[in-house]
Amino acid sequence: MLSSDNRKNVAPIDPSDLTIGDLLVALADHTDTPLVFRCGGRPVKPGYHVTEVKAGQFAALDCEANPESWSEIFVQLWDVDEGGPVHMLAGKFAAIIRKVADHVALDQAAKLTFEVSDGLRPIELHRAAQPSLVGGTVEVELTPRPSSCKPRDRWLEEQRAASGCGASRCC
């Protein structure tokens, strides 16, 4: 819809993060609509390319030596103006992801990270917001992926739950 694990110590996905499954479902009814990624307050150039889609399984220790594991999918966007005057259609983007899924196991619930670069600047890591219809396009806002302290994040969630706030930011 567009807006106007069983393993021990699996890292939770931030509810503000979009998964590849969420994105594909949101795009399903808009296959003939240009897909515009917005990054740094501006749209990526109309000729952007999806240069790589990677799926990874990660295992780590957080700063309190707690083991963590998660799946993550990286979609690399090359922010160039080589594909013409209009942005890629949502259906073409979805077809690229489906083609990758034919060869690489893509966990539909995995954390989704966009790697964006113009080929000159270093790759920047971004998370995606829920797509929205804007004019005649589907827009996906990409924001820098922040770092966090997982033990602190878990403690904050426990405090919210204990106070009855749940996932809201009222605490």
pLDDT in tens, 53-71: 999 999 999 999 999 899 9
What is the predicted pLDDT for the residue at 83?
66
Pairing outcome for strands 124-128 and 67-78 = unpaired
Whether residue 167 lies inside any domain: the answer is no
Q: Is the pLDDT of residue 103 over 80?
A: yes
% of the chain exceeding 90 in pLDDT: 66
Tell me which residue range forms the domain holding 88. 20-162
Whether residue 10 lies inside any domain: the answer is no
Q: Is the pLDDT of residue 94 over 50?
A: yes
Whether residue 42 lies inside any domain: the answer is yes
Whether residue 155 lies inside any domain: the answer is yes
Q: Could you tell me how many helices (H) and strands (E) the chain has, helices first? A: 3, 8
Whether residue 66 lies inside any domain: the answer is yes
- Structure-block tokens of residue 16: 């503000």
**Cα Rg, the chain, nearest whole Å:** 17
Whether residue 50 lies inside any domain: the answer is yes
Whether residue 92 lies inside any domain: the answer is yes
What is the predicted pLDDT for the residue at 45?
94
What is the reported pTM? Answer: 0.82
Q: Is the pLDDT of residue 111 over 70?
A: yes
Mean pLDDT of the chain: 87
Q: How many angstroms separate the CA atoms of 74 and 112, rounded?
A: 6
* DSSP bridge partners of 30: none
Whether residue 14 lies inside any domain: the answer is no
Q: Is the pLDDT of residue 124 over 60?
A: yes
State the pLDDT confidence band at 82, using cuts at 50, 70 and 90: confident
State the pLDDT confidence band at 3, using cuts at 50, 70 and 90: low
Asked if residue 73 lies in contact with residue 112, where contact means CB atoms within 8 angstroms, the answer is yes
What is the predicted pLDDT for the residue at 12?
46
State the pLDDT confidence band at 148, using cuts at 50, 70 and 90: confident
Q: Is the pLDDT of residue 9 over 70?
A: no
CB-neighbour burial class of residue 64 (10 A; exposed 0-12, middle 13-18, buried 19+):
exposed
% of the chain exceeding 70 in pLDDT: 86
Domain total for the chain? 1
Q: Is the pLDDT of residue 162 over 50?
A: yes
Give the HSE-up count for residue 115: Cα atoms under 13 Å, Cβ half-sphere.
Answer: 15
